[in-house]
């Protein structure tokens, strides 16, 4: 009989030791997770585990965890009449592999378990506060690309009767997503080039950008020297991925490749300023004639000119002899494409057709000096020749008794003097393209007018 008691003592004492030893922490692998094969504390404690929502909480943002960041995880259990309460917590991916790194922040109440892949209570961490017990610990998120992480915990609410009966096991699950890591970049600049002096809108398109949150600056920097910049007059954030910037590129802006910056995002060589290849020209002068011993104020118009930067000389040179010339007495620059000049024509100035010069720009056969005579003023007021230029015919309106003829610039007479009615149409379709002089004669005096055949 003594032998039987001794045998019972040998069997009973270890069982009691097993029951009480877990008050100092879970043996590990009892969270009910897939990585723990669904095992909970019910293997030792009677009853069925009850699932609870929201017993695991964290400060992980709603949009998910970020690889390498550390977060606080909290387990909170509640059970009416509980005497002792313990737990085990682990974190796994969707395949049941343990993920992340645990750090103990309250060593008196928590400790690592299951080869450091879980956290459990210590003997100092099982005393509830009323019907509730709470444990905190830190978890450092795993490498990027892990995906969803599931936190599993099993909580044992014990009645303290010294055996496994009457205890209640609870489980809870918290699943968190991995935050989407954006890779913002500038993907397009349209247009991606413009000439010096250009004005217009440049649309900048991004990918995975969040520009509606605020854009501090849009700036283009010359690739060879970032101190040379091109800044828009204004920019508008149209959406998270689209910005419209309005530019007025100076005519003297450094040409070449520019890096496009939207705050700290850069598109290297994203924009090119091209050197402007202007073709400046004199397009018209009015009036285009003047008589000897007169002062004429010329209105000279240009195209792609930059006269506002300064005009040095305006003069006329006889088309057939450039040594015969006359310089303007005064010059007034109105803008880049308009200049006024006063031409004081001497009484002995050679009559004929002159080329007009504004610095190095020339308008061939741009001005005609007419002969001084007593009736030139009278004729000027009554002569009308149009259209100029002409391709088929020109119309001439002359005073009574006047006659006319057409002469080429080299002096060749195209037709003899013809008596004119007050209105007459002249066929010029047979003339070669170029400039001709219409000589109008009245009572022995001649006035020259220029026509252009095209």
The distance from CA 305 to its chain's CA centroid, rounded to whole angstroms, is 32
Query: Are 15 and 87 contained in the same domain?
Result: yes
User: Across the strands, what pairs with 75?
Assistant: 56, 135
Domain co-membership, 153 together with 130: yes
Pair (401, 419) in one structural domain? yes
Tell me the pLDDT tens digit for each residue of 430-450: 999 888 888 888 877 777 888
Model confidence band, residue 18 (pLDDT cutoffs 50, 70, 90): very low
Looking at residue 378, its pLDDT comes to 62
Q: What is the pLDDT of residue 213?
A: 93
Q: Considering the chain, what is the average pLDDT of its residues?
A: 89
* Top-confidence residue, 215 or 43: 215
**Average pLDDT, integer, range 368-374:** 73
Asked which of 354, 370, 386 is the last residue of a domain, the reply is 370
377 — pLDDT class (breaks 50, 70, 90): low
Query: Would you state the pLDDT for residue 20?
Result: 41
Number of domains in the chain: 4
The confidence score (pLDDT) of residue 284 equals 95
Provide the pLDDT confidence category of residue 11 given band limits of 50, 70 and 90: very low
Provide the residue range defining the domain that includes 329. Answer: 281-370
Would you say 36 and 156 are in contact if contact means Cβ atoms under 8 Å apart? no
Nearest alpha carbon to residue 302 among 330, 357, 275, 339:
339
Q: pLDDT, tens digit, for every residue of 333-342? A: 999 999 999 9
The reported pLDDT for the residue numbered 376 is 56
- Domain end position, chosen among 370, 395, 415: 370
Residue 139 has pLDDT above 80, yes or no: yes
Residues 262, 202 within the same domain: yes
Domain shared by 381 and 361, yes or no? no
Q: Are residues 413 and 295 in the same domain?
A: no
Q: What share of the chain has pLDDT > 70, as a percent?
A: 91
Q: Evaluate if residue 293 carries a pLDDT over 90.
A: no
pLDDT the model gives residue 374: 53
Residue with tokens 């230029």, as numbered in its chain: 389
Show the beta-strand stretches assigned E in 288-329: 289-291, 294-303, 314-318, 321-327
Same domain, 245 and 221: yes
d(CA 237, CA 257): 24
Return the pLDDT at 1: 46
Q: CATH no. for residue 211?
A: 2.60.40.10
Residues 163 and 125 in one domain: yes
Whether residues 446 and 388 share a domain: the answer is yes
Which long-range contacts (C-beta less than 8 Å, at least 24 apart) are formed by 309-316? 309/336, 311/339, 311/358, 311/359, 312/359, 313/357, 313/358, 313/359, 314/339, 314/341, 314/356, 314/357, 314/358, 314/359, 315/356, 315/357, 316/343, 316/354, 316/355, 316/356, 316/357, 316/366, 316/367, 316/369
- Per-residue confidence at 184, pLDDT binned at 50, 70, 90? very high
Same domain, 308 and 392: no
What residue ranges in 141-255 does DSSP mark as E strands? Answer: 149-158, 168-176, 185-190, 193-195, 199-207, 218-222, 229-230, 234-239, 242-248
Which 8-state DSSP code applies to residue 178?
A: B
CATH number (domain holding residue 393): 2.60.40.3080
pLDDT of residue 43: 64
Confidence grade of residue 219 (pLDDT, cut at 50, 70, 90):
very high
Q: Do 267 and 288 belong to one domain?
A: no
* pLDDT score for 136: 98
Triad 339, 342, 343: Cα angle to 5°? 120
Residue range 336-364, pLDDT digits in tens: 999 999 999 998 888 889 999 999 999 99
Instruction: Kindly report, residue by residue over 85-120, the tens digit of the pLDDT.
Output: 999 999 999 999 999 999 999 999 999 999 999 999
Do 170 and 197 fall into the same domain?
A: no
Summarised one tens digit per residue, pLDDT across range 383-422 is 888 998 899 999 988 888 888 888 887 778 888 888 777 7
From 274, 299, 318, the end of a domain falls on 274
């Amino acid at each position: 009989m003594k032998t039987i008691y001794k045998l019972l003592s040998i069997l009973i004492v270890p069982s009691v030791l097993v029951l009480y030893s877990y008050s100092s922490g879970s043996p590990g692998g009892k969270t009910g997770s897939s990585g723990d094969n669904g095992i909970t504390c019910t293997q030792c404690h009677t009853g069925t585990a009850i699932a609870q929502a929201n017993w695991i909480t964290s400060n992980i943002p709603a949009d998910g965890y970020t690889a390498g960041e550390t977060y606080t995880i909290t387990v909170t259990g509640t059970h009416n009449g509980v005497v002792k309460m313990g737990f085990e917590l682990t974190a796994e991916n969707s395949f049941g592999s343990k993920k992340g790194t645990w750090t103990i922040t309250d060593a008196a109440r928590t400790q690592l378990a299951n080869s450091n892949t879980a956290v459990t209570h210590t003997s100092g961490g099982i005393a509830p506060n009323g019907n509730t017990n709470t444990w905190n610990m830190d978890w450092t998120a795993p490498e990027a690309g892990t995906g969803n992480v599931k936190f599993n915990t099993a909580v044992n609410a014990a009645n303290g009767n010294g055996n496994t009966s009457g205890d209640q096991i609870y489980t809870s699950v918290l699943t968190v997503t991995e935050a989407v890591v954006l890779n913002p970049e500038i993907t397009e600049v349209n247009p991606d080039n413009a000439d010096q002096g250009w004005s217009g809108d440049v649309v900048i398109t991004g990918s995975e950008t969040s520009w509606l949150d605020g854009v501090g600056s849009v700036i283009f920097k010359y690739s060879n020297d970032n101190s040379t910049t091109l800044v828009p007059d204004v920019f508008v954030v149209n959406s998270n991925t689209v910005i419209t910037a309005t530019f007025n590129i100076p005519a003297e802006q450094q040409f070449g490749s520019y890096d496009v910056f939207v705050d700290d995002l850069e598109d290297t060589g994203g924009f090119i300023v091209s050197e402007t290849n202007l073709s400046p020209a004199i397009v018209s002068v009015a009036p285009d004639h003047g008589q000897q011993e007169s002062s004429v104020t010329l209105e000279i118009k240009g195209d792609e000119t930059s006269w506002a930067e300064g005009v040095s000389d305006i003069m006329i040179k006889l088309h057939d002899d450039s040594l015969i010339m006359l310089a303007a007495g005064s010059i007034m620059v109105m803008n880049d494409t308009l200049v006024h000049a006063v031409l004081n024509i001497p009484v002995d100035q050679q009559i004929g057709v002159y080329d007009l010069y504004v610095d190095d720009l020339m308008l061939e056969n741009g001005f005609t000096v007419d002969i001084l005579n007593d009736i030139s003023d009278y004729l000027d007021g009554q002569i009308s020749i149009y259209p100029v230029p002409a391709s088929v015919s020109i119309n001439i309106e002359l005073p009574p008794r006047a006659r006319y003829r057409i002469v080429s610039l080299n002096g060749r007479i195209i037709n003899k003097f013809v008596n004119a009615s007050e209105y007459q149409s002249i066929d010029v379709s047979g003339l070669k393209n170029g400039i001709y002089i219409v000589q109008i004669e009245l009572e022995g005096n001649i006035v020259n007018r220029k026509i252009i055949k095209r």
